[in-house]
A and B are shown apart, each in its own frame.
Chain A
Amino acid sequence: MDFDLTEDQEIIRRSAAEFADEVLKPSASRIDANSEFPAENIKAAARLGFLGVLVPEEFGGSGLGHMELAIILEEVNRGCASTGVTLSVHNSLVCSPIVRFGSDAQKKKYLPKLSSGEWLGAYALSEPNAGTDAASISLSARESGSRFVLNGTKTMISSGSKADVVIVMARTGDAPGAKGITAFIVEKGTQGFKPGAKEDKLGIRGSDTSELIFEDCAVPASAILGRRGEGFKIAMSTLDGGRIGIGAQSVGIAQACLDESVRYAKERKQFGQPIASFQAIQWKIAEMGTRIDASRLLVRRAAFLRDADRPHTRESAMAKLFASRTANLCAFEAMQVHGGVGYTKEFAVERLFRDARITEIYEGTTEVQNIVISRKLLE
């Protein structure tokens, strides 16, 4: 048992940390204020090799695992959560399922472009009437000769309007519920497929969150990812990985909250001394630090298990649950440490407070994580 990062993991972490400090942090507040999609950040991340972390080298990626991805995502999200979620979705919800379930032809076609950042990916599961109840999706894929015709709407799709490739879960009609779902890879520009309204959100305002509209959108049978009817299984297995990514994002946001709090508590003087000398502040710092450490360990354990190809549904749900709650607790306490100025846009904690909130909602709400975890514990 060893809690140290390996030599290359440590250098990767530093590279990502420097990217976060030098590139992401300085632009985070502008990106937030203008709801600006962080295209430049994504390009820079691509140059550093952060877009094909999980993709094997033969397809132009780095051939690393979720551990390295979690290390990168934690640092990136410490700097800018809008950039962070875009990278998380691209790596763990798009590249990962293509690596795991894609045909050779699909891998050759998509992975090199996704790794280089030439193409950006999105993952479309949620619908107006199917969020937490994912098995009830109704977007239909009707078989017509050698093609499938997609009709319906997806909502709340991260990078939806920016993506060049979207993994779309659709009902192929073979069976009701989870069994009749098939995953398709749909390219931007396919006739009958277009992005709809863009959401105006509380936090991660630079991340693009869009509706996707499919109207008689015909795709070849070769667009099926994995096998017909396997979609729900692919969706859930993919989310097991995605939750590690959101766990890492949460740790990054929480760490940023702690860093800001420590800095401010040492600088800010009241009653003639830095507020860091008051126990009320010290206890907040201690609790934040301890919960962040625990979250990080949970995230890394889940990543370790996924990389070792061992069962990790419960562990990744636990990591996501605990880390996202930690991010919100840290955001709350960081604002409390800052007092009035923390409530203003002058200080990063105001943005962190809003950015943290989504981590308890997307890729499975806190409540869904509780269902997943308890089901595993009670089975």
Chain B
Amino acid sequence: MTSGREKGGIHSGGQPGLSQPAHGVYNPPLPAGKPIGPGRVWRFLSMEIAVLVKQVPDTAEVKIDPKTGTLIREGVEGVVNPEDLNAVEAALVLKARHGGCVTVLTMGPPQAREALLETLAMGADRAVHLTDKAFAGADTLATSYTLGKAVEKLGPFDLVICGRQAIDGDTAQIGPQVAEYLGIPQATYVQEIEIRDGVLRAVRRLDAGTETIETPLPALVTVLGSLNSPRLPTVPGIIDACSSKDRLSVMNAADIGARAEKTGLRGSPTVVWKTETPKSERRCEMLKGSPAVQAQALAAILKKRNLS
């Protein structure tokens, strides 16, 4: 547990605004204990959770074509982005505790279907594959718009969970931008989540420590790899995911009501000017002599480079 956690409110310099009732709360609290309608019971007893995932090349070191400056994806297996698996795990844990339904969404080419099957095999209830030629070439703005549209269409959700960032692009922008689009509070870099009485409490990891914030739902969080360890799909889970067709649906731009000029390349103001792999310029210098001489030499080098 992180020290400095207190009950209620924001502290340690939390973002202003997060303690305010969020605008866009489309699911106001209901009288205690009174279930409503078919399907959805009281919102905090039964959570509707959306998880946004991305299929990425299976390598921590994405190579860049030196000539074209684009990512080399050929021959690299696609996997679910590692921190997105933490997001799925978090959703499944919350569902186990509070009840509800976990919906996983991804925007991507046809092969991204495999990533969704994996999350279904882990235990997600349904998966939605957003795929359309119009989505191709999207930057983070167009992607956030598309995902936001889909979340709106499929919702209402109490909570949207994303991985902190994808290992191929490393932007960490999608989560925050989707939250902005939806107009709901967000908590990024989250390493602990708890929901009590309809309030989300999240511990965020910052450079100098941690920050605990509370926010009403609905909200969006982006989670770190240290939050949990994602479960592996079980064999029965995989068989179930691959054989029950109704759990995975495919939607295109028209299905989610996305406007063509706001998706894909057309909706992307970002222009990639140049991408390059930084040249590795590490040099190794072997120190010789007795340990004392070596230590002195090392100290001198560190001092010279202002590292001492």
Contact = CB atoms under 8 A, between A and B. Distances in A.
Interface of A: 7-8, 10-12, 14-15, 18-19, 47-50, 53, 57, 62-64, 68, 72
A64 B233 CA distance: 16
B232 A18 contact: yes
A62 B121 contact: no
B239 interface: yes
A49 B236 contact: yes
B270 interface: no
Contacts of B233: 11-12, 14-15, 48
Contacts of B117: 7-8, 11
Interface of B: 79, 114, 117-118, 121, 232-239, 241-243
B235 A53 contact: yes
Chain A residues touching B, majority SS: helix
Chain B residues touching A, majority SS: helix
25 contacts: A7-B117, A7-B242, A8-B239, A11-B114, A11-B117, A11-B121, A11-B238, A11-B242, A12-B233, A12-B238, A14-B79, A14-B118, A14-B233, A15-B233, A15-B234, A15-B235, A18-B232, A19-B232, A47-B234, A49-B234, A49-B236, A57-B236, A62-B235, A62-B236, A63-B239
A10 B235 contact: no
Most chain B CB within 10 A, of A7, A8, A62, A72, is at: A8
A216 to B, nearest CB: 41
Nearest to A8: B242
A15 B114 contact: no
Contacts, number: 52
Given A8-B238, A19-B232, 8 more contacts: A7-B117, A11-B117, A11-B233, A18-B232, A49-B234, A49-B235, A62-B236, A63-B239
Contacts of A63: 239
Contact of A48 (B79, B118, B235, B241): B235
B250 to A, nearest CB: 15
Nearest to A51: B235
Most chain A CB within 10 A, of B235, B237, B239, is at: B235
A8 B240 CA distance: 9
A15 B239 contact: no
A50 B235 contact: yes
Contacts of A47: 234
A7 B241 CA distance: 10
A312 to B, nearest CB: 23
B74 to A, nearest CB: 17
Contacts of B79: 14
A221 B79 CA distance: 52
A255 B135 CA distance: 39
A19 B118 CA distance: 14
A64 B235 contact: yes
A53 B239 CA distance: 11
Contacts of A53: 235
Contacts of A18: 232
Contacts of A49: 234-237
A57 B236 CA distance: 9
B118 A11 contact: yes
Nearest to B242: A8
A15 B236 contact: no
Contacts of B114: 7, 10-11
A12 B237 CA distance: 10
A68 to B, nearest CB: 8
